[in-house]
Structure 1
Amino acid sequence: MTEQPDHHVAVIGAGLAGFGIAAELHRGGIDDFVVYERMDGVGGTWRQNVYPGIGVDIPAQAYQFRHALNPEWTRFYAKGEEVLSYIERLYRENDLLRFVRFGSDVGARVWDEHAKMWRLQVNGQEVTARFVVVAAGPFPEPKPAELKGLEDFGGTILRSASWDHSVDLKGKRVAVIGTGASAVQIVPEIARTVAHLDIYQRTPIWVFPKIDPSMPAPLRALFRRVPRTQRMLQESLEFIVGGALVYGVLNAGRLGNTPAAVRWLLGNVSYRLQVPDKELRARLTPDYDFGCKRPATSNTYLPTFNRANVDLITDPIDTITDKGIRTVSGVEREIDILILATGFRLFFDPQVYRDRPVTGRHGFDLADFYQNHLPLSYHGFSTPGLPNSFNVFGQYGWTGGTYHSVVDTAAIHIGRVIREAQRLGATDVEVRAEAADAWTEDARSRYTYSLFQTGNCGTANSYYFDHNGESAYIRPATTQRARQVAQTFPLDDYIFTVAKAARHAKAAAG
């Protein structure tokens, strides 16, 4: 008898992407699936990251699913606890919690060519699934802080990705290493409390002011009673964030002096108003073009450096000592608490798949693929050599301005393929190599005039570029276009293989 898998579909991750895929499967009549989540609750990054000041960095009215609008956002830029509550409500109200297995850490995955299924290690035990959908997001693992002497530090170490709220910062000497999106939110929150704060900056970040009004109760009531009003706001913001901004990034080389004008305006108006000291302002101002690295939004980050108890350190770190941090100039600054805001490994980091190996057809190794090959995907969701496997976020995968747009598009695409396989009785589905090649070449060609190809991005240290210098993060299409294509791409770009026994059974039944 042919071995049957434990589950038809295994979804990895119970965050926003896990919800989107689970909801699509459930709507499509597929209930033989499981969602593996290593934490003790749903929410993904919004459950893992609970540092001071955490919140969305785009308007909350855009940061939500089109089919599940939330009229209860209390601010234009919602805080993290509201986002987590929204995600928890989505799982609960759509009856999807019953499919989630908490505390389930997925390790290695191996394709079984004979049985036409995936063998997954879950908490060290083997589980099998016909299909696997990776819904772990673009930042699957915290990036280890590669700092000499870190193990010698005698004080307390906090990490942005696993914050310990039992640690009291009041009156302490604190250092923050990193000036990315997390640090931009953490620094203003703790500067008012600590005795002294040192911020170690390797690469400055573009920060622009945000309009962040509260959402008054009458407006929230209007959204509840007349949902169309909120729909119009959401669609307008989706157009701006997922259309106009993507157009600007992909066509920077055609926009004349516009990128330089944006950079001048920020540096000479916004930064000048917020940081009066010329020398300090110069160190906080990036020398790369706006958009080469994901910018941040904040009204409080830059002014924090004007405080008497805050120092910006741009001298490179030499080593962590038992009492503090010594830079290459030989200066050691003593601290009580060290905060590591050093970011995450990206989905294309080969180390992610060395730690959790993925082996596909004919020995295809995902770590080797990302290490040694040029970007290649089909619509950002599938890769030749990985049958019955999809990634909600892959190369050329970021659609529009919010992750919800990515998830919506991925769910439509992946749901169509799995349902077609089910209709055909196919046990083996793989994207055609020529289809992936053609789609990738088209995506790459649309980058010709992009900011990443024509702009001044060399010093940005941006996750938009992989370790080979390839910029294959953003999908060169608007949100609206990507969603339309997900509904209409030719299914014969995939090879659907039906086992002989299944064909015979179907013929007999017919």
Structure 2
Amino acid sequence: MGSIEVDISTREKYVAERAKRLATANFAKRLEVSKDPSVRDLLQDPWADYDALAKEVPYLQNGSRIKFLIVGAGHSGLIHAYHLVKAGFDPKDLVLVDNAGGWGGTWYWNRYPGLQCDVEGYCYLPLLEESGFIPQNRYSHGEEIRQNAEHIAAKFGLQGMFCTSFVAADWNESEGRWDVTLRRQLGPDHEELNVDFTISTQFLITATGPLSSMSIPALPGLDDFRREKKVFHAARWDYEYTGGSPTEPHMINLRDKVVGIVGTAATAVQAVPELAKWAKHLYVFQRTPTYVGPHEDSRTTPELWDKVTKGGKPGWQDERIENLNLFFTDDPKVTSDMNLVQDERSRYPSLSAVWGSRSAVGLGPEKAADHTEWMLQREAPHAARLRKFINQTVKDPATAEKLTPWYPGWCKRPAFNNAYLQAFNLPNVTLVDTDGQGVQTYTRNGYALDCLVLATGFELSGSGSCPLASSQAACRGRGGRDLSDKWNSADFATFYGVCTNGFPNLFMSSGTNSAGSANMTGVYGSQARMTAHIIATATAGSGTDPDNTVVEVSKEAEQAWLDKLLGYATWYAPLLTTCPPTYFTGYRSGGEQVDEKELAMVKRKLLFPLGPVGYDHAGREYIHKGCLEGFIVR
């Protein structure tokens, strides 16, 4: 009876805390930073070496014709480039463009103090086996992840053109190619090089990643606040102001400063302990607390590396990635003793509510309520264990209660850190809990801050989002139809999440109709493997000219993939109906407050419900057939 009463109490807390946030008017309001001139300066690149880039001979200029243009030079772009090279294409036929000043994607931009991957690096860092890169730690720090990206580019001879933005693409039907407008921006000292130019590419691949466009709450008073206070986003950390550097974040300039940080999710969990070491006083502004558990890091010794790689066994990283995804998705065929990673995240099975699971097979709509109840019961002991950890770690009971999450653990990415909760035991750290309402306004009459850090994350270009949403670029396919129009229309569908009818020779690294995972490296590999197979098979086909091949998925094939996805969509009932608005749900209010038409569209754009392992296996089965069933090649 006691356990039932506890369960009822927990459920009531979940409902009450969710209701608070559903009633918050400003939850989903975000500034379009790239379009708003009042905050556009927050996007400035503090890391780019414009002088060095200006001296380089550009790989592309007005009128260039290439075979592959890959938009994005982070992990997704690098993995796609690798698989194209592996499929036999010349690296000199590929150019990766990025508005950043170098390789790495989100790991180029993010250099905040305390930055570290929260997924085991042996699974997360791409192409370790292929490139020979050995991480120094089990959980790699940000600088090492960026160095790994640079290492991959050098190892495989990849060509990157940086400080170059993707502006627009138009399908040229007569030539069977994409006309792409790019914009190069090398700072005020190189105005003569800051130009828009147009190139032609046979194949266009968008690999902008899900975390590339910073998110800033649209709240009143920001302009006035910024005139008197220092404000920056965590993805553009200002070490000139704070002191220190990404490798040695000794922020000595903060010793006499009162600092505020908005946000208590993954970024803040890592940055707060570092700020607490140096700031005169630190205020942490919280809307929704995060589940935080212990972190299990270690150095990579020769003995550990030999164990991880199974003595250099071919395919060891793919095997380890799949094993981790099996546990992320609570696969019905694994047992705890089969877990190769054995960390807190891999031991949290209910996260499958976000990433899907092969258990979704046979789960019809009539079982939605039972499935949600089963997931809540599956989740209960893990959430209770982390809540207990929080309360044991934070000394002040009132602060501990405010830091305790009351929602299912799948609603917001849990974090694992050995210093975040402990920081709230320090006399110079104050938690400002907003009781689910969030910061309401920026005002000079509030907290007497010298500096405000926006640890407010990124606009999620993931499930449901057009893959070019973060770049705000136009991509017009056959008949001039924009990709965003199809993405939000009743005839929306994709094949495997990597291509869509009406947009020939366009391939996407998309979170829609594709897989998701806390470790996206494996998903990017699945997508890139499929894309390389389609292009290589099409261009090698009998009777085709490789340099003039056009390949496009049929309406029937993409609808068949969508129908397969919809057949398992009940798996996501817990995510859609139990969570407060978060970026996992696109800041939507939830099932009962979404009209049927919108809910139908949400379901059409979900992640693949069978999870990353089911997604990968479906792709490998298709590739194994050796043909292009469902595609039109001319």
TM range (shorter): 0.7 to 0.9
- SS of aligned partner of 1:62: helix
The structure 1 residue matched to 2:152, chosen from 90, 96, 113, is 90
Per the alignment, residue 484 of structure 1 pairs with 617
User: Which letter does structure 1 place at the counterpart of 2:498?
Assistant: F
User: Which letter does structure 1 place at the counterpart of 2:81?
Assistant: A
TM-score (norm 1): 0.86
Determine the C-alpha separation between the residues in 1 that align with 2:271 and 2:65.
43
Tell me how far 1:454 sits from its aligned partner: 7.3
Determine the C-alpha separation between the residues in 2 that align with 1:22 and 1:454.
35
CA displacement 1:273-298 (0-9 Å, x = unmatched) = 11243332232222220112222221
Tell me how far 1:381 sits from its aligned partner: 1.2
Tell me how far 1:415 sits from its aligned partner: 0.5
User: Which letter does structure 2 place at the counterpart of 1:162?
Assistant: R
CA gap of 1:386–1:238, structure 2 versus 1, over 3 A, is same
The structure 1 residue matched to 2:404, chosen from 285, 288, 309, is 285
1:463 has 2:584 as partner:
yes
- SS of aligned partner of 1:463: helix
Tell me how far 1:495 sits from its aligned partner: 3.0
Contact kept? 1:76, 1:212, Cα under 8 Å: yes
CA displacement 1:346-402 (0-9 Å, x = unmatched) = 225569378312222233223334445587322121122322111112303234441
Per the alignment, residue 247 of structure 2 pairs with none
1:415 has 2:532 as partner:
yes
1:174 has 2:248 as partner:
no
Determine the C-alpha separation between the residues in 1 that align with 2:535 and 2:303.
44
Tell me how far 1:429 sits from its aligned partner: 1.9
Determine the C-alpha separation between the residues in 2 that align with 1:482 and 1:6.
34
Per the alignment, residue 475 of structure 1 pairs with 608
Contact kept? 1:464, 1:473, Cα under 8 Å: no
Contact kept? 1:291, 1:451, Cα under 8 Å: no
Per the alignment, residue 352 of structure 1 pairs with 469
The structure 2 residue matched to 1:161, chosen from 225, 235, 240, is 235
Determine the C-alpha separation between the residues in 1 that align with 2:471 and 2:81.
27
- SS of aligned partner of 2:631: strand
CA gap of 1:178–1:255, structure 2 versus 1, over 3 A, is closer
Determine the C-alpha separation between the residues in 1 that align with 2:310 and 2:529.
29
Tell me how far 1:6 sits from its aligned partner: 0.8
Tell me how far 1:79 sits from its aligned partner: 0.5
Contact kept? 2:329, 2:611, Cα under 8 Å: no
1:443 has 2:565 as partner:
yes
Determine the C-alpha separation between the residues in 1 that align with 2:278 and 2:386.
29
Query: Which has the higher mean CA deviation after the structures are superposed, 75-84 or 34-43?
Result: 34-43
User: Following superposition of structure 1 onto structure 2, how do residues 74-113 of structure 1 map, counting pairs within 5 Å?
Assistant: 74-96=136-158, 99-113=159-173
CA displacement 1:203-251 (0-9 Å, x = unmatched) = 22222222112223554477799323x9658734641334443544345
Tell me how far 1:270 sits from its aligned partner: 1.2
Contact kept? 1:243, 1:479, Cα under 8 Å: no
CA gap of 1:71–1:106, structure 2 versus 1, over 3 A, is closer
Tell me how far 1:422 sits from its aligned partner: 1.0
CA gap of 1:374–1:335, structure 2 versus 1, over 3 A, is farther
Per the alignment, residue 507 of structure 1 pairs with none
Tell me how far 1:57 sits from its aligned partner: 0.8
User: Which letter does structure 2 place at the counterpart of 1:257?
Assistant: Q
- SS of aligned partner of 2:421: helix
User: Which letter does structure 2 place at the counterpart of 1:164?
Assistant: D
CA displacement 1:105-160 (0-9 Å, x = unmatched) = 11111222232211111112111111100111112311244221111121211211
Per the alignment, residue 18 of structure 1 pairs with 77
User: Which letter does structure 1 place at the counterpart of 2:608?
Assistant: R
Tell me how far 1:52 sits from its aligned partner: 0.6
Give % identity.
27
Per the alignment, residue 453 of structure 2 pairs with 339
- SS of aligned partner of 1:166: helix
TM-score (norm 2): 0.70
CA displacement 1:408-463 (0-9 Å, x = unmatched) = 11111000111122123263322222222221232233231346457621x14133
1:382 has 2:499 as partner:
yes
1:259 has 2:379 as partner:
yes
Tell me how far 1:91 sits from its aligned partner: 1.2
CA displacement 1:289-343 (0-9 Å, x = unmatched) = 011222222122222222222222233433213x4xx6xxxxx111000101111
The alignment's C-alpha RMSD in Å is 2.9
Contact kept? 2:131, 2:152, Cα under 8 Å: no
Determine the C-alpha separation between the residues in 1 that align with 2:402 and 2:224.
30
CA gap of 1:17–1:456, structure 2 versus 1, over 3 A, is same
**What is the total number of aligned residue pairs between the two structures?**
482
Structure with more strand by fraction: 1
Tell me how far 1:474 sits from its aligned partner: 3.7
Per the alignment, residue 129 of structure 1 pairs with 201
The structure 2 residue matched to 1:310, chosen from 429, 449, 457, is 429
User: Following superposition of structure 1 onto structure 2, how do residues 119-268 of structure 1 map, counting pairs within 5 Å?
Assistant: 119-123=179-183, 124-153=196-225, 154-168=228-242, 169-216=254-301, 218-220=303-305, 226-228=311-313, 235-236=319-320, 238-245=322-329, 247=331, 248-249=352-353, 250=356, 253=372, 254-255=374-375, 257-267=377-387
Contact kept? 1:400, 1:477, Cα under 8 Å: no
Tell me how far 1:478 sits from its aligned partner: 4.7
- SS of aligned partner of 2:532: helix
Contact kept? 1:384, 1:436, Cα under 8 Å: yes
Contact kept? 1:5, 1:117, Cα under 8 Å: no
CA gap of 1:24–1:371, structure 2 versus 1, over 3 A, is same
CA gap of 1:69–1:275, structure 2 versus 1, over 3 A, is farther
CA gap of 1:72–1:236, structure 2 versus 1, over 3 A, is closer
- SS of aligned partner of 1:318: coil
CA gap of 1:301–1:447, structure 2 versus 1, over 3 A, is farther
**Unmatched tracts of structure 1, length 5 or more:** 327-331, 499-510
